[in-house]
Structure 1
Amino acid sequence: MVTLLIALGAFVAYLIAYHTYGKWLSQKIFKLDPNHVPPSVEFEDGCDYVPTSKSVVFGHHFTSIAGTGPIVGPALAVIWGWVPALLWVLFGSIFIGAVHDLGALVVSLRNRGQTVGDIAGKVLSGRARILFLGILFLALTIVLAIFGLVIAAVFKAFPASIFPCLIQIPLAILIGSYLHRKGVGLLIPSLVSLALMYLSVAFGDVGLLLSFNSTLAGWPIFTWVVLLLAYSYIASVLPVWLLLQPRDYINSLQLVSTLALIFLGLICAALFGLDQGAGKQSLEIAAPALRLNPEGAPFIFPFLFITIACGAVSGFHCLVSSGTSSKQLKNEADAQFVGFGSMLTEGFLATIVILACVAGLGLGIPEVVNQVPTGNLLVGKEAYQARYASWGSATGLAAKVGAFVDGAANFLKALGLPATFAVAVMGVFVASFAATTLDSACRLQRYVTQELAVQLKLKPLTNKHAATVFAVGVAGLIAAIPEAGQEWKLANLGKGGLLLWPLFGATNQLLGGLAFLVILFWLRQKNTPFWFIIPPAILMLLLPGLAMGLYLFQGDGAWLTGTTPNYLLSSFAIATVILEVWIILEGVKRWRKPVS
């Protein structure tokens, strides 16, 4: 029952936070005004600036900010115990993450829909704008280089998820085209598409669908990466109403409905247990509350706060808030629902992920020795230990996603759903999140590239097609690099993003700290109280810097001083720290000047 009480308590806490702290921020601090003309109306162009209802923008925003972050981060962080992970997700999402997302959205709404990087030039300095945009470009390049691999890996691990994910694209285009002409709502057509998606999951292991999924699952990783980047280019230059909005809305319904199923399954498992052939197993937390020294793991501080980003606070969210969502909201008053509400929803998702990994796994998982199933069922602490015996056994995409998928699938089985269907639904859940993030990241990178091109006077890259080709091309070149020590052949290509991925966690959280600086200086210029911004801003500037320093200099595996130095990562890390310090100095310099 402890698991159920935690889930219910988190749900209630998020509702209270939305209607208290979120309402205070929206009405008393940011003073959201429904009569204020938003950028989507003032600069409506039918492509990027499109006035849209809050439910549709919420769907886009939530699916874009979530990605696989609130899954893989918490699924790894529970190696330090479930209590630290849960506390960081709960309090971080309410007092840091939701404030960050809402603040970035409002600041962009009041500045023509510009990104926080561009707005930094107004509130800090022209140099800060270029420095900030440079960090944004680096972070988004890593996302684009790695997320094609993430989706391909999910497709290979869960082939039944391929067709349901792919079919969403033509369905979304058909819905977007029809609704744009007719001017009706997205809900009914999206529910029909959602039903078709679930049917394709149910019959994914039968006949032609089985053959289709199996064939595509056998494609090389790099083939998937190239196709997904090409798709991202197309998706990012099309009008938002044609693909981005309907696809994200369909995905949001799918993701929220799946989250609801998981939650209902958790309730059933807590009340009635689950019998998978080895006797009824009750739902209990199998993980330790606190585990300070897991084998091979770094110390919990500061790495817990870097490992769990999405779900607590993530700098990537400021890009979505100020890059795409601010250009679509047709009413400024909807910012609380989209910005604050989406982050709390993601926090609840991260809470469910934690419970799936520390309690859902304990309901039973197949024992695997040397990648071969033994036929035995592991339950309770044995199941947790099988996935979290050491840092090495818990890291890697397959291990992190697999722990969540198996645990959450057990919740669905408690509802009476077949095992194959339950696992396939969770595979689609993960792949869909990753795909929407890839779409949005490519469009965001186009905005950042165009803004940088204006500042650096690179006129050809101010064109949206040229900027997108450049963004996709850079990511594709990085992705094409084989892993260290591997030959240049097709089977080894597509994993180059992994070379820079260890840097992303700290860089991503650093973006959050820098976004807080922009929000802080903007509030100061408006003579608005900003005291509540200072603690999270300091925290999100110090923690990533500390983590970066430990990555560079601590232990035998240190990037710079370790036994086998990684000079590529070291160079990027040092450059990122220099940019951070430079921007902070620009802030200190600006703070000394009187408020204009």
Structure 2
Amino acid sequence: MNPVLLMLLGITIFALGYFVYSRYLAKRVYQLDGGFQTPAHELEDGVDYVPTNKFILWGHHFTSVAGAAPIVGPAIAVIWGWLPAFLWVTIGTVFFAGMHDLGALWASNRNKGRSIGALSSRYIGGRGASLFLVVIFLVLLMVITAFAVVIKNLLISTPSAVIPTWGAILVALLVGFAVYRLKWPLIPVTIVAVVILYSLIVVGDSYPVVLPESFLGMSPSTVWILALFIYGGIASLLPVWVLLQPRDYINGVQLFVGLALLYSAVLIGAIFSSTPHNIVAPMFNEATPPGTPNLVPLLFVTIACGAISGFHGLVSSGTSSKQLDKEPDARFVGYFGAVGEGLLSLGTILAVVAGYRTVTDWDAVYSSFGGGGVNAFVEGGGLLMQDGIGLPASLSATVLATMAVLFAATTMDTGMRLLRFVVQEIGEAVKVKVAKFPATLIVVLVGLGLTFSQGLGGDGGLRIWPLFGTTNQLLASLTLSIIAVILIRKRRNPWPALIPLTIVFVMAFWAAIEQVSGFADPANPDWLLFALDIIIIIASVWVAVEVLLAMRKAAKDPPEPAGADEHQAAVREEV
């Protein structure tokens, strides 16, 4: 099959989702109001609450939620065949992720920028909220530690990505200063910044940085892990306009440049190449390697980001809602942020199913479950770009590896900021006030402790990663449940939230039950993961019961009284 057809079909589905379905959600379900005073204005502090241009905020939101997960998940999931992965990415983005991300952003915006964890206390009660915080803490801990390992491995395996990775920080600082202090126009600043960033990629390809086997008495793995956590801790404390916003914005722009190159390679290669790439992976793989789990339910937790992800709700309600300039901007930031991630996942699928020349080459990569991943994306995408648009293989690999590293890094530092908020919320729950510096120190120390828990090689961050898929999707279902409760209380149509909530919860809970038996396998038991999975299952069931009770109460109670914001909207309509 020609990959161009798959690419065009996917883009068309995403376009229909944004221009049709998201418009319905914005007008009929969430009823976004341009006159509503957002928390960014009401609580502006110049650090976390900062009114932000919607394009810059979209860049922050998109790159924070993207990370490496929309690359890793689809690149692994195609082992079941390209069609299941394609369908879940497209349908999941349009009807699940877009609704979830926009809904979490709207709900937080209507509640003074409070996080999903804090909202759970108001809408489902204190008992459910405490258990909700446990799930949130574990998800964020998994994200920052696992992504640190992913970045470290890429910096070692692709040393040409080192210069552009760290150089991007300086570029972001200059962009923030130019836009917010010098008040320079955004478009020329963006053009110059992207040119510099891609120049750094060319420089990095020519001058790869390989650390010596022993640097200050430490291995390269240890050095990179320490550097990443120190950077993440500092970045999470800085005002968002200094580094977080401009870094994420520039990364968002460079991602679309990278995706444009990848998609162009598919299109141009199909038209002009004498030996165009075709999809060599099977539509449905009926000969999966031994040990590969069942398609259902594992597909729905293997591909999380890129279809729907609970982590997105944490970003939407944790940082993005505090920077929303106007409420209608939530549609572009939240829903189109999900579409951007869908485009990245679609590009990943194209790279790993059409980048290899032969079925034999593809089978060699997918000889075992988990055999794909970031390296398959970099290798397959690099071959597509080399044959399609003539970029040298090494430069193509550098572009894609840098893209993966930068997104993982933005997710990591946003995750550390969010985990700091969670630590402070846990402190409030136990009546202990935790300032942001001690909270950040706790986050850094706990993250480093887990990452180095299996040695100074720093691979301990993957210790609890097998739980990420199920935990993350259970968190998504719990976030959707809060959105549904709010809609029921306001007497608005809750079905756009209830349908994906039901499907995601059933699949994630099913996967969690299957994992428990695997962790308790007498031949190869893992009692830590077994215990954590049991805790997650109990917490999820408990919260689900609390949610059902909250929905029942919301349906019986009188409609939620109109707040001042809704009253002002009604007055404007009368005028």
Corresponding position of 1:467: 439
Write out per-residue CA displacement over residues 112-161 of structure 1, whole angstroms, 9 at most, x where no aligned residue.
00111110111110112211112101111111221111101011111101
Distance 1:35 1:344, change over 3 A: same
Match of 2:413 among 412, 434, 439: 439
Q: Deviations over 1:181-222 (max 9, x none)?
A: 22233332232222122222223244xx33x45559985212
Q: Choose from 331, 334, 344 the match for 1:336.
A: 331
In the alignment, what sits opposite 2:25? 25
1:45-56 aligned at under 5 Å gives the runs 45-56=45-56
**1:494-518 deviations in Å (ceiling 9; x for gaps):** 1112110101111011110000111
Alignment of 1:93-112 (within 5 A): 93-112=93-112
Preserved CA contact (<8 Å) 1:559 1:569: yes
Shift in alpha-carbon separation, 1:76–1:383, aligned structure 2, 3 A: same
Secondary structure at the aligned position of 1:361 is classed as: coil
Answering whether residue 349 of structure 2 is matched by residue 387 of structure 1, we say no
- The question of 1:479 aligning with 2:451 is answered yes
Given candidates 537, 542, 562, the residue that maps to 2:501 is: 537
Q: In the aligned structure 1, how far is the partner of 2:299 from the partner of 2:523?
A: 25
The offset of 1:411, in angstroms, is: 2.3
Query: Aligned pairs, how many?
Result: 551
Separation of aligned partners in 1, 2:133 and 2:383: 43
- In structure 1, what residue type is equivalent to 2:261? L
The residue type equivalent to 1:595 in the other structure is D
d(CA) in 2 for partners of 1:202 and 1:217? 27
Partner of 2:536: 576
SS at match of 1:202: helix
Distance in 1, Cα, partners of 2:43 & 2:491 = 27
Contact persistence 1:163–1:213 (CA under 8 A): no
> Which residue of structure 2 lines up, in the alignment, with residue 420 of structure 1?
394
Percent of aligned pairs sharing the same letter? 39
The answer as to whether partners of 2:161 and 2:205 remain within 8 angstroms in 1 is: no
Distance 1:468 1:142 in 2: 16
Alignment partners' CA distance in 1, 2:472 and 2:214: 30
Q: Which residue number corresponds to residue 300 of structure 2?
A: 305
Q: Within 2, Cα distance between the matches of 1:120 and 1:333?
A: 24
Conserved in 2, the CA contact under 8 Å of 1:315 and 1:512? yes
- Aligned partner letter, 1:46: G
| Greater shift in the superposed pair: 525-534 or 300-309 | 525-534
**Residues 361 and 403 in structure 1, CA contact (< 8 A), matched pair in contact too:** no
Report the residue type matching 1:341 in the other structure: F
Alignment partner of 1:406 is 2:384: no
Rounded Cα–Cα distance in structure 2 between residues aligned with 1:298 and 1:10? 26
CA distance change for structure 1 residues 382 and 242 in 2, over 3 Å: closer, same or farther? same
- Indicate conservation of the 8 Å contact 1:265/1:411, yes or no: yes
Using the TM superposition, name which of 168-177 and 241-250 deviates more. Answer: 168-177
Residue in 1 that maps onto 2:241: 241
State whether residues 191 and 250 of structure 1, in contact with CA within 8 Å, keep that contact through their aligned partners in structure 2.
Answer: no
- Do the aligned partners of residues 174 and 141 (structure 1) sit closer, same or farther apart at CA in structure 2, a change above 3 Å counting? same
Q: Is residue 2:550 matched to residue 1:590?
A: yes
CA distance in structure 2 between the partners assigned to 1:216 and 1:40 by the alignment: 47
The C-alpha deviation readout for 1:391-443, integer Å capped at 9, x for no partner, is: 2xx43xxx411211122112221112122211111110111110110111011
Report the RMSD for the aligned CA atoms in angstroms: 1.6
**Residue correspondence of structure 1 range 71-150 to structure 2 within 5 A:** 71-150=71-150
CA deviations 1:79-132 (Å, max 9, x no partner) are: 000111101111111111111111111001101001111101111101122111
Q: Residue 190 of structure 2 contacts residue 250 of structure 2 at CA under 8 Å; is this kept in 1?
A: yes
- Give the AA of the match of 2:488: R
Q: Aligned match of 2:426 in 452, 460, 468? A: 452
From 483, 490, 495, the counterpart of 1:526 = 490
Query: Per-residue displacement from partner, 1:266-300 (whole Å, max 9, x unpaired)?
Result: 10111123xxxxxx532211011101451120111
Q: Residue 519 of structure 2 aligns with which residue? A: 559
Q: Distance in 2 between matches of 1:59 and 1:513?
A: 25
> Which one of the candidate residues 481, 484, 489 is aligned to 1:517?
481
- Between 1:177-186 and 1:56-65, the stretch displaced more is 177-186
Q: Which amino acid aligns with 1:387?
A: V
- The 2-side partners of 1:146 and 1:288 are apart by 30
Instruction: Assess if the C-alpha contact under 8 Å between 1:524 and 1:595 holds in 2.
Output: no
Secondary structure, counterpart of 1:405 in structure 2: helix
Q: Please list, as runs of the form range in 1=range in 2, the aligned pairs for 1:268-307 lying within 5 A after superposition.
A: 268-273=268-273, 280-295=274-289, 296-307=291-302
Q: Distance in 1 between matches of 2:81 and 2:213?
A: 38
Structure 1 match to 2:572:
none
The CA deviation at 1:589 is 2.5
- Say whether the 8 Å CA contact 2:205–2:395 is kept in structure 1: no
How many angstroms apart in 1 are the aligned matches of 2:527 and 2:380?
A: 38
User: Is the CA contact (8 Å cut-off) linking 1:293 and 1:299 kept in structure 2?
Assistant: no
2:16 counterpart residue number: 16
Q: Is the Cα contact below 8 Å between 1:93 and 1:311 reproduced in 2?
A: yes
Residue identity opposite 2:173 in structure 1: I
Pick closer, same or farther for the CA change 1:252–1:591 going to 2, 3 Å. closer
Cα distance in 2 between the residues matched to 1:132 and 1:423: 40
2: CA distance between counterparts of 1:566 and 1:324?
35
Paired letter, 1:289: M
Gaps of 5+ in 1: 274-279, 363-379, 483-487
In structure 2, distance between residues paired with 1:185 and 1:245: 16
Distance in 2, Cα, partners of 1:237 & 1:66: 21
Matched to 1:313, the amino acid is I
Q: Which moved more, 1:404-413 or 1:17-26?
A: 404-413
Instruction: Give the stretch that moved more between structures: 529-538 or 323-332.
Output: 529-538
Asked whether the equivalents of residues 190 and 246 of structure 1 are also in contact (C-alpha less than 8 Å), the reply is: no
Superposition deviation, residue 580 in structure 1 = 0.4
One-letter identity of the residue aligned with 1:477: G
Match of 1:345 in 2: 340
Deviates further, 178-187 or 258-267: 178-187
Q: Give the conservation status (yes or no) of the 8 Å contact 2:255–2:403.
A: yes
Note the residue ranges of structure 2 that are not aligned, 5 or more in a row.
559-575
Confirm or deny: 8 A CA contact 1:560 1:566 kept in the other structure: yes
- The CA distance in 1 between the partners of 2:332 and 2:210, in whole Å, is 37
- Verify the 8 A CA contact 1:156 1:217 in the aligned structure 2: no
Structure 2 CA distance, aligned partners of 1:232 and 1:437?
10
> Structure 1 592/253 Cα, relative in aligned 2: closer, same or farther at 3 Å?
closer
Q: Deviations over 1:458-487 (max 9, x none)?
A: 22x2x11111111121111111111xxxxx
Give, in angstroms, the shift of residue 38 of structure 1: 0.5
Contact 2:171 2:197 in 1 (8 A): no
Could you tell me how far apart the structure 2 residues matched to 1:62 and 1:333 are? 17
SS in 2 for 1:51: coil
CA 1:262–1:216 in structure 2 vs 1: closer, same or farther (change >3 Å)?
Answer: farther
Whichever residue aligns with residue 486 of structure 2, its letter is W
Q: Secondary structure at the match of 2:356?
A: helix
Contact 1:82/1:288 (<8 A) preserved? yes
CA distance in 2, matches of 1:195, 1:217: 35
Structure 1: how far apart are the matches of 2:385 and 2:205? Answer: 18
Distance (Å, rounded) in 1 between the aligned partners of 2:145 and 2:380: 29
Secondary structure in 2 matching 1:592: helix
Q: Counterpart of 2:463 in 1: which secondary structure? A: helix
Contact 1:3 1:355 in 2 (8 A): yes
Partner of 1:277: none
1:332 is paired with a residue whose SS is coil
